[in-house]
Amino acid sequence: AQSVTQLDSQVPVFEEAPVELRCNYSSSVSVYLFWYVQYPNQGLQLLLKYLSGSTLVESINGFEAEFNKSQTSFHLRKPSVHISDTAEYFCAVSDNNDMRFGAGTRLTVKP
């Protein structure tokens, strides 16, 4: 079965600074990759996904992630964060049978 490792449990950054949340996965088959976001006191929401095609995928609020097959990574980046980006971010991998989540990275954006 596939697995996901999120290397940083907490990432504190100042507003307008760039950020990268790291995600590595392991799987013996082709996978689909996702980032979900959980804002305080809210449910999980899909942020972006890689299913096929271009390895660089973007969300509507400025985040992007790049699928790197050789490094088995799917790191999430944003060039300039806002206070409102404070949330828990989960990387997830699916091999077409089930979806497994990483432990999460808590992004805290400080003024």
Partner 1 sequence: EAGVAQSPRYKIIEKRQSVAFWCNPISGHATLYWYQQILGQGPKLLIQFQNNGVVDDSQLPKDRFSAERLKGVDSTLKIQPAKLEDSAVYLCASSLQNSPLHFGNGTRLTVT
Site membership for partner 1, residue 22 (CB under 8 A): no
Site membership for partner 1, residue 76 (CB under 8 A): no
Output the smallest distance, CB 104 to partner 1, in A.
Answer: 5
User: Which DSSP string corresponds to the chain?
Assistant: --EEE-S-SEEEEETT--EEE--EEE-SS--EEEEEEE-TTS-EEEEEEE-SS-SEEE-TTS-EEEEETTTTEEEEEESS--GGG-EEEEEEEE-SS-EEE---EEEEEE-
Site membership for partner 1, residue 28 (CB under 8 A): no
Interacting residues with partner 1 (CB under 8 A): 4, 6, 32, 34, 36, 42-46, 49, 51, 90, 96-104
